[in-house]
């Protein structure tokens, strides 16, 4: 069976930051302040700051879910896998709708700024034409470049820095009189209106499958993007309030250009207008592209008709794209800008509340494969606040938003009952909670998360090389049964685990009987966890004559027999199941590579077998040659060597002999030192002895 295709991991920190920031600084800055000023006057600055409160818990939860499940589809995928297909359907369509509402709002803003250069040009037809044009661009498969996005966002931030830097010294205290006189309910309702300004910061989570090292890169990029957005919105709206008379600011659809014109004259207005148009184009194009992927993902999961998942030869989801663009055109015709902003914010608030619930469900399900690289703090109070605050804000936004959300949920429920319920064949992590109450669980989710663990691989801090260095090797020429091999492994592990041999055998065979021993191709991985164990222990077994393994298939629940040539027995501390799974995932990933069987069979000794699994950036081979920088080590004891902190010699190969290093071991000419350690320490060692 062919492996499912995965997107390439090409996005690094600056691309993540640029995408998160670029999708945030658009209509919320260039259009919405004038509409917010109608409601609360100069207090719009407070409204923008208050709007971050319901966002922060959701943002932290989305980052946690994205580092645990880096998959395309973002919020839809997270909710579907945690709460099940019904919640996934409602959230997926809600997120799609919020995205297209945000795109629609951006198109309205773009039309307003274009009208500055072409007075009298009707804005709604311009917005309709722009929507159709961007839809055509997406049809021809034009893709956003991460590097171009960096340049675009950096240019935008530079222009905004000039705008804010020149505006802050010109602020008039008189403009902020009555800042705190606004009613709290009105202020919160306006905060709900401008909430849409920040939601783009989490949109990058839908690209988590394409991010290098998402467990580190994603949190850093998103948190820095949010800090940037808060600073720009807080200071930028203060400048607008401080330099534009409030009666002129209220209702102004181009407030940034108006403020820049007051500060810098005509050229300032032109530059901010160009910046606004570039920001709108970036957000609208990226929004159409992202939004069109949600119906595609739901169609693949059988929640929407299969025809929506059709993809052209250019890789474009044409039906989903047409549905998305058509919906944008319809909204542009029917709704006004304020209505668009309120609906987009209201839907996003509901979605983010559900995301906070999803984190609670994933944690309480106690699925050991759920292994986020970032965990949102102050659990569960942070998540509870993230579930409550959005609905408080929605309440202040008025009955129109509440009734629209209720109508949408009812429509989605009817669609699920009469269409999707019979086609979706999975349940979410919430069923793992039910299992603790004696009900049903969905085994497929464990397997899916296990596959994600395998793709994510080890973390930098995982002591895999140390486990490998301590590992024991059994090399067999003759044919052998699995039961006999398990006894041999148990006898090797017993002294280190301080467990009786028979107890170890029972644990390993129990896993095979329950279907918990991964067996595929040429490899079997029996494993178990031991309470109180200090560190993981590993046994590598190579069987040239074949090892007969009988195991229970967890999917079919039938007994199978297979002949393998590699078995890896792993015992880890019970208190740290995540690292146990990551070590298993590393072994399985390496064993699944195309050339593994050839390299495994060709390894000349046990040290060569261990070498197969070393991470490329975690080990270094230093040859001791007479005319090389490493010659200074010849004749010296290991205890005398000054190696960088964080690295140590794993073993020494002296021609055909392998020496286990000791403090009094003397380095000889012709030795090959295998050194393991932290990447930075190894880089320093490489510069010293290789360069």
201-240 pLDDT per residue, tens = 776 776 677 777 888 888 998 899 889 999 999 999 999 9
pLDDT at position 94 over 70: yes
Residue 640 CA neighbour count, 13 Å, CB half? 10
104-118, 429-443, 576-590 — most confident range:
576-590
Confidence of residue 295 (pLDDT cuts 50, 70, 90): confident
Lowest mean pLDDT among 57-61, 353-357, 601-605: 601-605
Tokens of 148: 């171009």
What residue ranges define each of the domains in the chain, with the CATH number in brackets?
A: 13-422 (1.20.1740.10), 460-611 (3.40.930.10), 616-689 (3.30.70.1450)
Nearest to 338 by CA among 253, 229, 277, 281: 253
Tokens of 497: 């685990």
Q: Token pair 């171009």 is at which residue?
A: 148
Confidence of residue 505 (pLDDT cuts 50, 70, 90): very high
DSSP tag of 640: G
pLDDT at position 70 over 70: yes
Tell me: the pLDDT tens digits for 42-63? 899 999 999 888 889 989 999 9
When pLDDT is averaged across residues 296-312 and rounded to a whole number, the result is 82
Q: What percent of the chain has pLDDT over 90?
A: 16
pLDDT at position 143 over 60: no
CB distance 320 to 67 below 8 Å? no
Task: Please give the mean pLDDT across all residues of the chain.
Answer: 82
Residues in the chain: 691
Q: Kindly state the helix (H) or strand (E) to which residue 609 belongs, with its residue range.
A: helix 606-611
Q: What is the pLDDT of residue 328?
A: 86
What is the C-alpha separation between 113 and 276, in angstroms, rounded?
7
Burial class, 451, CB count within 10 angstroms (exposed 0-12 / middle 13-18 / buried 19+): middle
Q: What is the pLDDT of residue 72?
A: 67
What are the residues whose beta carbons fall under 8 Å from the beta carbon of 295, sequence distance 6 or more? Answer: 96, 304, 308, 317, 319, 320, 323, 324
Q: What percent of the chain has pLDDT over 70?
A: 87
Strand 671-677, strand 619-623: pairing: antiparallel
Nearest to 207 by CA among 222, 223, 193, 192: 222
| Angle in degrees, 0-180, between the axes of helices 501-514 and 482-497, rounded to the nearest 10 | 130
pLDDT at position 515 over 80: no
What is the C-alpha separation between 202 and 290, in angstroms, rounded?
12
Confidence of residue 691 (pLDDT cuts 50, 70, 90): low
pLDDT at position 132 over 60: yes
Confidence of residue 484 (pLDDT cuts 50, 70, 90): very high
Tell me: the pLDDT tens digits for 411-468? 888 988 888 887 766 554 544 444 444 444 555 566 667 677 767 778 878 888 889 8
pLDDT at position 685 over 70: yes
What is the C-alpha separation between 23 and 397, in angstroms, rounded?
24
Q: What is the pLDDT of residue 472?
A: 93
456 or 266, which is more confident: 266
């Amino acid at each position: 069976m062919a492996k499912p295709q995965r997107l390439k991991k090409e996005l690094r920190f600056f691309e993540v930051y640029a995408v998160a920031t670029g999708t945030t600084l658009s209509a919320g800055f260039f259009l919405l302040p004038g509409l917010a000023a109608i409601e609360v006057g100069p207090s719009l600055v407070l409204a923008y700051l208050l709007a971050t409160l319901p966002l922060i818990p959701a943002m932290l939860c989305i980052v946690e879910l994205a580092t645990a499940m880096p998959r395309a589809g973002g919020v839809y995928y997270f909710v579907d896998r945690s709460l099940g297909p019904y919640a996934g359907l409602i959230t997926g369509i809600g997120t799609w709708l919020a995205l297209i509402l945000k795109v629609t709002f951006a198109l309205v803003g773009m039309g307003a700024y274009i009208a500055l250069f072409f007075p009298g040009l009707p804005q709604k037809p311009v917005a309709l034409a722009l929507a159709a044009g961007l839809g055509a661009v997406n049809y021809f498969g034009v893709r956003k470049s991460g590097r171009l996005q960096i340049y675009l966002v950096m240019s935008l931030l530079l222009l905004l820095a000039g705008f804010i830097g020149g505006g802050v010294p010109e602020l008039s205290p008189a403009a902020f009189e009555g800042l705190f006189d606004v009613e709290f309910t009105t202020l919160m309702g306006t905060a709900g209106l401008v909430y849409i300004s920040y939601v783009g910061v989490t949109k990058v989570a839908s690209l988590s499958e394409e991010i290098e090292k998402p467990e580190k890169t994603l949190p850093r990029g998103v948190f820095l993007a949010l800090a940037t957005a808060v600073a720009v919105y807080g200071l930028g709206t203060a400048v607008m309030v401080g330099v534009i008379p409030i009666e002129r600011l209220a209702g102004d659809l181009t407030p940034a250009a108006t403020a820049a014109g007051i500060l810098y004259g005509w050229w300032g207005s032109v530059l901010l207008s160009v910046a606004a148009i570039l920001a709108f184009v970036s957000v609208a194009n990226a929004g159409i592209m992202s939004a069109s992927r949600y119906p595609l993902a739901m169609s693949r999961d059988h929640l929407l008709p299969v025809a929506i998942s059709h993809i052209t030869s250019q890789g474009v989801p044409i039906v989903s794209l047409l549905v998305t663009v058509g919906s944008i055109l319809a909204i542009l015709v029917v709704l006004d800008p304020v209505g668009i902003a309120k609906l987009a914010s209201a839907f996003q608030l509901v979605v983010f509340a559900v995301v906070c619930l999803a984190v609670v469900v994933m944690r309480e399900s106690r699925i050991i494969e759920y292994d986020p690289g970032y965990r949102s703090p102050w659990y569960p109070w942070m998540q509870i606040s993230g579930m409550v605050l959005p609905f408080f804000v929605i309440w202040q936004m008025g009955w129109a938003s509440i009734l629209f959300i209720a109508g949408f949920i009812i429509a989605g429920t009817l669609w699920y009952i009469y269409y999707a319920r019979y086609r979706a064949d999975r349940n979410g992590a919430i069923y793992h909670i039910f299992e603790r109450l004696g009900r049903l669980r969905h085994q497929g989710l464990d397997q899916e998360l296990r596959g994600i663990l395998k793709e994510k691989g080890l973390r930098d801090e995982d002591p895999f090389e140390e486990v490998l260095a301590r590992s024991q090797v059994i090399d067999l020429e003759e044919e052998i049964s699995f039961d006999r091999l398990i006894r041999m492994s148990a006898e090797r592990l017993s002294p280190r685990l301080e467990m009786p041999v028979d107890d170890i055998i029972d644990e390993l065979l129990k896993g095979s009987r329950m279907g918990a021993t991964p067996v595929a191709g040429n490899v079997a991985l029996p494993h178990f966890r031991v309470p109180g164990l200090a560190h993981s222990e590993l046994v590598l077994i190579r069987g040239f004559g074949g090892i007969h393994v009988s195991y229970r298939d967890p999917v079919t629940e039938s007994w199978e027999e297979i002949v393998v040539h590699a078995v890896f027995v792993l015992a880890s501390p019970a208190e740290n199941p995540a690292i146990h799974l990551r070590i298993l995932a590393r072994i399985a990933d390496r064993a699944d590579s195309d050339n593994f069987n050839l390299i495994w069979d060709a390894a000349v000794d046990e040290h060569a077998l261990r070498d197969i699994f070393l991470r490329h950036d975690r080990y270094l081979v230093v040859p001791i040659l007479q005319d090389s920088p490493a010659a200074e080590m010849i004749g010296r004891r290991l205890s005398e060597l000054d190696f960088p902190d964080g690295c140590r010699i794993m073993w020494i190969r002296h021609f055909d002999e392998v020496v286990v290093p000791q403090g009094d071991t003397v380095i000889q000419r012709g030795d090959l030192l295998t050194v393991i350690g932290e990447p930075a320490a190894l880089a320093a060692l490489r510069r010293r002895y290789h360069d």
